[in-house]
Structure 1
Amino acid sequence: MFHPRAQDPALAALLTLLAAALLAGTTLLAKAIGTGALGTPLPALQISHGRFLFAFLVIGTMIGVKRPRMTRPDFATHTKRSSLGWAGVTLMFAAAAFIPLSDATAISFLNPVFGMMLAIPLLGERVGPVRWAAAGTALIGAAILMRPGSGIVEFGAILALGAALCLGAELIFIKRLSGREGPWQILLVNNAIGLTIASLAVVWVWQAPNAAQWAALAAIGVLMAAAQTCFVNAMARGDASYVAPFFYTALIFAGIYDGVVFGVWPDTVSLLGAAVIVCGAALLLWREGRRRVPPGSVSGG
């Protein structure tokens, strides 16, 4: 068993803001690689492979320096969690090439809603009217971002919705691991298994990256590892109900990055849909916080 860190709300909030900025940066780089801004576009499977490869190298190096105490991992649960995380990350990177980063990020915030729904059959949880109302609100926001009035449903929005579903299912297994294994061990095992899955998948679509793309892939892995590390430590120093709302600033960072780099700024529909999703997710988070979600959860694929 690992020993929880002392509570420090101010540091937890700062670490969460930093994690949000870093995570939005990974999606920006994935968009640059997937849309051809850095050369011939690379497939999402290859981008996610780079994410796991370089994140594993960074986390492995950090663990080698810190030498945290390790216990026997629950490999069966880790494998299920990592498979869903890999699928979620891959779909998210694919979505970033088709729709604005703010839309993709907003839709990804549905993952706790899907996690709640899946907890009913998989964990036997009972869901009350407040949680159902929160889920319904968030899903309405997602429907807005699908832009039904345009006559077509955005393909990228469907990919982002798939990412949220996978990441929501991942939360089920994160709950099973939390409290039983330390955060550094969870990060290491997650990225090791994710790298194995990504390596098997990328064989079928591999393209030789150019120097700029290699640099961007490495940056995605480093930023993701840093984001996960910041979020893990934030969750260890503050209650989930306090920490997680700060993570919604990823929407702001994504919108700014997309506007500055690609000239794509959120429109009225994007702002409305994102606001509705955040309201629903925040209500669900408030309800979950009252049920005392254990600290130390590790998410993000």
Structure 2
Amino acid sequence: MDAIKSQWAGLPPNVRGILWVVLSGLLFASFMAIVRYVGTTMNPIQMSFIRYAFGMMFMLPFFMRMQLSDFRAANIKLHATRGILHGLAVMMWFYAMSRIPIAEVTALGFTSPIFATIAAVLLLGERIRMRRMIAVAGGLLGALIILRPGAAIIDPGAIAMLVAAPIFAFSDVMAKLLTRKESGPAVVGYLSIFVTLVTMVPAIYVWRWPTPEEWALMALTAFIATLGHLAMVQGFKLADVSVTQPAKFLQLIWATLIGFLLFSEFPTIWTWIGAAIVVAAVSYIAHREAVARRHE
């Protein structure tokens, strides 16, 4: 065990960061598969509440180790704002998962960094140059190719996912602000608290007492998703965004394999083409951000 730890510590930070992000993608794809399965019988709003309620429980040991000064340093207003927005997006994400293939949800979710670029301009005052504006436009074009408006009837789940993506993007930018002064686990923990509160009220109106199997599966989703978030945060801390971003897109491969093996789903050629355009646009934006940071 000590030998493995020393070998791991000897790897370059970028390599360790990539491996953490690859692991997070596999965890998220597994989480999506379970949500897809449970979503055939349970209301998506109820699922979103149970998932984050369990997630909040998994984060309790972390909160118990926090000092009073840690709580005082927390930006509760920003955590609450992020939690409210994220909670709305989560409910739409669970709705999308109950209606459209896993790979399509994943592909549309990749547009989130495109919207994060826009959010960074609005919230952080970052300047955006013409080349990045073209990349943003290209990413949005990729999303349109996935949806193919006019060529096919757009499923409400796809619309929900496309609305959720920019909200997740604003949430990510707020997380970036929070991690400047707070730890990654603290950011994940407070998110679990506020999203649980946001989803609790609508969940009451659609509540159906879950079966023992559903309770167990939802607890498992919360555990896997929490691990996925922690792995992703750790990866982003260790490696440059431009390095980890392409690795994040391996999640589409995992999602496609799981969707095909478990649910006989296979994305259309338009999903692949649109996802490729989105991936290229996001990778270019990540590259330009890394170049800009090196010149700061």
TM-score, scaled to structure 2: 0.89
* 1:82 alignment counterpart: 83
Which residue does the alignment assign to 1:137? Answer: 138
Name the SS for the 2:74 alignment partner: coil
How many Å apart are 1:69 and its aligned residue? 8.3
* Cα deviations by residue, 1:67-112 (Å, 9 ceiling, x for unpaired): 8983521001001111222222221121112211111111111112
Which residue identity is paired with 1:60?
L
Separation in 2, partners of 1:54, 1:253: 24
Residue 255 of structure 2 corresponds to residue 250 of structure 1: no
Q: Secondary structure at the match of 1:213?
A: helix
User: How much identity, in percent, do the aligned residues show?
Assistant: 24
Partner of 1:21: 26
Amino acid at match of 1:18: L
* Separation (CA, whole Å) in 2 of partners of 1:233 and 1:69: 23
Q: Which runs of 5+ in 2 are unaligned?
A: 1-8
Alpha-carbon spacing, 1:43–1:61, altered in 2? closer, same or farther (3 Å): same
CA distance in structure 2 between the partners assigned to 1:67 and 1:30 by the alignment: 35
Structure 2 CA distance, aligned partners of 1:292 and 1:207? 50
More helix by share: 2
Verify: 1:224 aligned to 2:249, yes or no: no
- SS for the counterpart of 1:292 is helix
Answer yes or no: is the 8 Å Cα contact 2:91–2:199 preserved in 1: no
SS at match of 1:221: helix
SS of 1:291's partner is helix
> What's the offset of the Cα at 1:66?
9.3
Q: Does structure 1 retain, via aligned residues, the 8 Å contact 2:45–2:202? A: yes
- Residue by residue over 1:123-151, the C-alpha shift from the partner in whole angstroms, topping out at 9 and shown as x without a partner, is 33221112111111111110011122534
**Greater CA deviation, 254-263 or 267-276?**
267-276
Moved more, 120-129 or 211-220: 120-129
**Contact 1:114/1:165 (CA < 8 Å) preserved in 2?**
yes
Other-structure match for 1:33 = 38
Q: Which 5+ residue runs of structure 1 have no aligned equivalent?
A: 294-301
**Distance across 2 between alignment mates of 1:69 and 1:278:** 41
Structure 2: which amino acid aligns with 1:278? V
Give the residue type in structure 1 aligned to 2:187: I
SS at match of 2:59: helix
Q: Measure, in 2, the Cα distance between the counterparts of 1:218 and 1:77.
A: 27
How many residues align structurally?
A: 284
**C-alpha distance in structure 2 between counterparts of 1:181 and 1:10, whole Å:** 24
Deviation string for 1:233-257 (max 9, x for gaps)? Answer: 1122212222232111111111111
Please give the alpha-carbon distance, in whole angstroms, between the structure 1 residues aligned to 2:219 and 2:90: 16
> Distance in 2 between the 1:161 and 1:289 partners?
27
Counterpart in 1 of 2:285? 284
Does the CA contact (< 8 Å) of 2:62 and 2:185 recur in 1? no
Which position in structure 1 is the counterpart of 2:3?
Answer: none
Question: Within 1, Cα distance between the matches of 2:48 and 2:116?
Answer: 22
Partner of 1:70: 70
Distance 1:231 1:165 in 2: 19
| Residue matched to 2:236 | 235
Q: CA deviation at 1:154?
A: 2.4
Task: Name the Cα RMSD after superposition.
Answer: 2.3
Within 2, Cα distance between the matches of 1:227 and 1:66?
A: 22
For residues 152 and 196 of structure 1, the distance between their equivalents in structure 2, rounded to whole angstroms, comes to 35
Query: Highest CA radius of gyration, 1 or 2?
Result: 2
Whole-angstrom distance in 2 between the partners of 1:110 and 1:220? 23
Q: Which amino acid aligns with 2:165?
A: A
**Aligned partners of 1:119 and 1:275: how far apart in 2?**
23
Of stretches 62-71 and 109-118 in structure 1, the one that deviates more from structure 2 is: 62-71
Tell me the TM-score normalized by structure 1: 0.87
CA offsets 1:140-183 (integer angstroms, 9 cap, x no match): 11001112253422222101101101101212312321211111
Deviations 1:7-61 (A, max 9, x none): 6222211111110011112222111122x2xxxx212111111221111111223
Q: What is the Cα deviation at residue 258 of structure 1?
A: 0.5
- The one-letter amino acid paired with 2:156 is F
Q: 5 Å matches for 1:1-301?
A: 8-34=13-39, 36=40, 41-62=41-62, 64=64, 70-71=70-71, 72-292=73-293
Stretch deviating more after TM superposition (50-59 or 256-265): 50-59
